[in-house]
């Protein structure tokens, strides 16, 4: 079995004084070898992109878009004007908020909770990792805790995000006797039907499974007076725009509508006009990318050495919890086998994995049973995983918006993070 080689730390030092920084002057990270000049292992065929998504729109782009010094003092400043007690929340909810380690609201929470409690429609724009999920869950929990006849429907683009929202809801409603159901593809629909028939207070759904249950007359949108569309830009990007319009057409005229998106394109504007009425628009975005994420590039020496360059990064001190993005499912699987062979603790998630497999791998990563998670863009939105030290774009994302969401997996909750993007020399 091939094992990871531990190289001298000073081989990776740069003028910035950090072992994790890319040396621009040399065109890449230093590259090290065994005494015989090469890794002593059989050669796999090199990792390749294979067939899959169309060519990235970022190919050949100016590399400066991937290089940016962090400025953590600008990001995630605590709100001065509010604390959670000022919102007059139920004591049980306040206790659960405190048990989650939340001390003061983040800017998006500070500006969003009040209008939602007042019954206003809200459009929320914020960079990822700023506490958006709790920003809408906290006031909605207060609302249904005060009036058990209220029902909430939350629509999210991916299974992982839906499950994450469910987990956050459970944490915030501990011992409050409020219940939720998740309806997502890739899992047993019969169990979900049983959960729906119990009339949960909150239903969290992905568009495909939600439409299926509506057509089976098991979910009636007119029963819900509170709606959340989360990560709308992704739902539009992956082809759910007609489904969203279908859902909106069946919603009751009198409702509270909450709309969260990182960007608002002309297509999304059309959805907005039919979804919200006299909304409060809240934007806490200062820049497209998080201020507390250090961004840099790794220039690929050659396709044959690209994997070795990645290896040399992963063995450095500080690369403690790393999320690596690739372009295709096939490529991610090959890279997973290569890194496993080299002795790394690694797991992979992508669209060909069963939902149960994806959840097991995610849990292993969250609990530090594995140190490296490989993923396609199924993981670029919504996943809230604590203490991801580095995001590595082994393959370029399809668009700059995808890049923004990928690197938003690190530097969350005000912590420093690092993002490295492999580019062709």
Q: What is the pLDDT of residue 46?
A: 32
289 touches 68 (CB < 8 A): yes
* Same domain for 346 and 332: yes
* Contact in structure between 388 and 412 (CB atoms under 8 Å): yes
Domain match, 298 and 268 both: no
Residue 100's closest CA among 159, 163, 178, 169?
A: 169
Query: What per-residue confidence (pLDDT) applies to 10?
Result: 34
* Band (137; pLDDT cuts 50, 70, 90): very high
pLDDT at residue 286, rounded to an integer: 56
pLDDT band with cut points at 50, 70 and 90 for residue 128 = low
Q: List, in sequence order, every residue forming a beta bridge with 349; answer none if it has no partner.
A: 375
Domain-located, residue 33: yes
The whole-angstrom distance between residue 414's C-alpha and the CA centroid of its chain comes to: 15
Quickly state the pLDDT bin for 196 (edges 50, 70, 90).
very high
What's the rounded mean pLDDT across residues 49-65? 67
On the question of pLDDT at 3 being above 70, the answer is no
pLDDT category of residue 400 using cuts at 50, 70 and 90: confident
Asked if the structure places residue 195 within a domain, the reply is yes
* Mean pLDDT value of segment 380-385: 69
Query: Does 256 fall in a domain?
Result: yes
- Separation CA 64–CA 334 (nearest Å): 30
Closest listed residue to residue 394, CA positions, set 329, 334, 306: 306
Which of 198, 245, 203, 196 is closest to 224 using CA atoms?
Answer: 203
Q: Which residue has the higher pLDDT, 184 or 233?
A: 184
Query: CB neighbours of 96 closer than 8 A, spacing ≥ 6?
Result: 171, 172, 173, 174, 175, 176
Domain count, the chain: 2
pLDDT band at 72 (very low <50, low <70, confident <90, very high): low
Residue 224 lies in a domain: yes
Separation of alpha carbons 65 and 292, rounded Å: 16
> Which alpha helices (DSSP H) does 220-265 contain, by range?
232-237, 241-250
Residues 196 and 90 in one domain: yes
The pLDDT, as a whole number, for residue 50 is 39
Establish if 4 belongs to a structural domain: no
Say yes or no: 31 and 161 in one domain: no
Q: Kindly state whether residue 395 falls inside one of the protein's structural domains.
A: yes
Burial tier of 350 (Cβ tally within 10 Å: 0-12, 13-18, 19+): buried
DSSP-assigned states of every residue in 204-261: EE-HHHHHHHHHTTS--GGG-SEEEE-SHHHHHHTT-HHHHHHHHHHS-SS-EEEEE-
Question: Domain holding 25: CATH number?
Answer: 3.40.50.300
Listed ranges 73-77, 253-257, 291-295; the one with the highest mean pLDDT: 253-257
336 and 258 within one domain: no
Domain shared by 97 and 189, yes or no: yes
Backbone angles phi, psi at 335, to 5 degrees: -65, -35
Choose one of 252, 283, 314: the last residue of a domain.
Answer: 283
Starting at the edge strand found earlier in the chain, the sheet holding 346-349 runs: 293-300, 417-424, 390-393, 322-325, 372-375, 346-349
Instruction: Assess if residue 2 is contained within a domain.
Output: no
Instruction: Please say if the pLDDT value at position 149 is more than 90.
Output: yes
Alpha carbon dihedral 333, 339, 341, 343, in 10-degree steps, equals: -140
The answer to whether 364 and 353 are in contact (CB under 8 A) is no
Q: Residue 147 in contact with residue 174, Cβ under 8 Å?
A: no
Examine the domain organization and report whether 404 and 387 are in the same domain.
yes
pLDDT band at 103 (very low <50, low <70, confident <90, very high): confident
Residue pLDDT, tens place only, 228-282? 999 898 888 788 999 999 999 999 999 999 999 877 888 898 899 999 999 999 9
CA distance linking residue 281 with residue 201, whole number of Å? 26
pLDDT given at position 213 = 97
Average pLDDT over residues 151-156: 97
Range of 219's domain? 76-283
Both 138 and 268 in one domain: the answer is yes
What's the distance, Cα to Cα, between the start and end of the chain in Å? 32
- Average pLDDT on 4-22 reads 36
Let me know if residue 1 belongs to a domain: no
Do 192 and 177 lie in one domain? The reply is yes
pLDDT given for residue 399 in this prediction: 82
Q: 91 vs 171, 272, 299, 336, 368, CA distance in Å? A: 15, 35, 54, 47, 33
How many C-beta neighbours within 10 Å does residue 301 have? Answer: 16
Which of 257, 283, 309 is the last residue in one of the domains?
283
Question: What is residue 70's predicted lDDT score, i.e. its pLDDT?
Answer: 74
Is residue 103 located within the same domain as residue 63?
no
Rg (CA), the chain: 23
- Higher pLDDT: 281 or 50? It is 281
pLDDT over 90 at 62, yes or no: no
- Residue 415 — pLDDT band, cuts 50, 70, 90? confident
Residue at which a domain ends, from 259, 283, 307: 283
372 and 243, same structural domain? no
Which ranges of 100-180 would DSSP assign to H, the alpha helix? 107-117, 132-146, 159-172
Lowest mean pLDDT, pick from 36-50, 76-90, 403-417: 36-50
Pair 47, 107 in one domain: no
Task: Check residue 331 and report its DSSP letter.
Answer: H
Tens of pLDDT, residues 166-181: 999 999 999 999 999 9
Q: Following DSSP, what letter does each residue of 379-409 receive, concatenated? A: GSSS---TT--EEEESS--SSHHHHHHHHTT
């Amino acid at each position: 079995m091939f094992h990871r080689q531990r190289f001298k730390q000073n081989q990776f030092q740069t003028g910035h004084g950090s072992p994790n920084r890319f040396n621009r002057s040399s065109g890449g990270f230093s590259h090290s070898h065994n005494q015989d000049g090469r890794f002593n292992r059989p050669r796999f065929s090199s990792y390749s992109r294979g067939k899959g998504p169309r060519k990235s729109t970022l190919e050949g782009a100016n590399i400066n878009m991937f290089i940016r010094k962090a400025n953590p003092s600008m990001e995630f400043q605590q709100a001065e004007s509010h604390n959670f007690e000022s919102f007059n929340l139920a004591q049980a909810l306040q206790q659960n908020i405190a048990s989650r380690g939340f001390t003061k609201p983040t800017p998006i929470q500070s500006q969003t909770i009040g209008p939602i409690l007042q019954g206003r429609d809200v459009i929320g724009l914020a960079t990822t990792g700023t506490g958006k999920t709790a920003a809408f869950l906290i006031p909605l929990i207060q609302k249904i805790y005060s009036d058990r006849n209220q029902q909430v429907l939350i629509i999210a683009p991916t299974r992982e995000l839906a499950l994450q929202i469910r987990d956050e809801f459970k944490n915030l409603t501990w011992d409050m006797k409020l219940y939720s159901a998740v309806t997502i593809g890739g899992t047993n629909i019969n169990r979900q039907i049983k959960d729906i028939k119990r009339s949960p207070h909150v239903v969290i759904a992905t568009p495909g499974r939600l439409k299926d249950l509506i057509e089976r007359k098991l979910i009636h949108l007119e029963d819900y007076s509170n709606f959340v569309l989360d990560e709308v830009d992704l739902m539009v990007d992956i082809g759910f725009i007609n489904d969203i319009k279908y859902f909106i057409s069946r919603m009751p005229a009198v409702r509270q509508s909450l709309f969260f998106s990182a960007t608002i394109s002309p297509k999304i504007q059309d959805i907005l006009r039919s979804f919200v009425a006299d909304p409060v628009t809240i934007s806490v975005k200062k820049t497209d990318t998080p201020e507390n994420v250090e961004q840099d590039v790794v220039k690929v020496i050659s396709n044959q050495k690209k994997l070795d360059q990645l290896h040399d990064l992963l063995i450095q001190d500080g690369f403690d919890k790393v999320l690596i993005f690739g372009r295709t499912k096939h490529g991610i699987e090959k890279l997973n086998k290569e890194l496993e062979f080299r002795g790394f603790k690694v797991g992979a998630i992508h669209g060909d994995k069963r939902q149960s497999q994806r959840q097991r791998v995610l849990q292993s990563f969250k609990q530090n049973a594995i140190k490296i998670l490989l993923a396609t863009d199924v993981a670029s939105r919504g996943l809230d995983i604590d203490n991801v030290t580095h995001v590595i774009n082994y393959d370029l994302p399809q668009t700059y918006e995808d890049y923004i969401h990928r690197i938003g997996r690190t530097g969350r909750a005000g912590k420093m993070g690092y993002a490295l993007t492999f580019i062709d020399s």
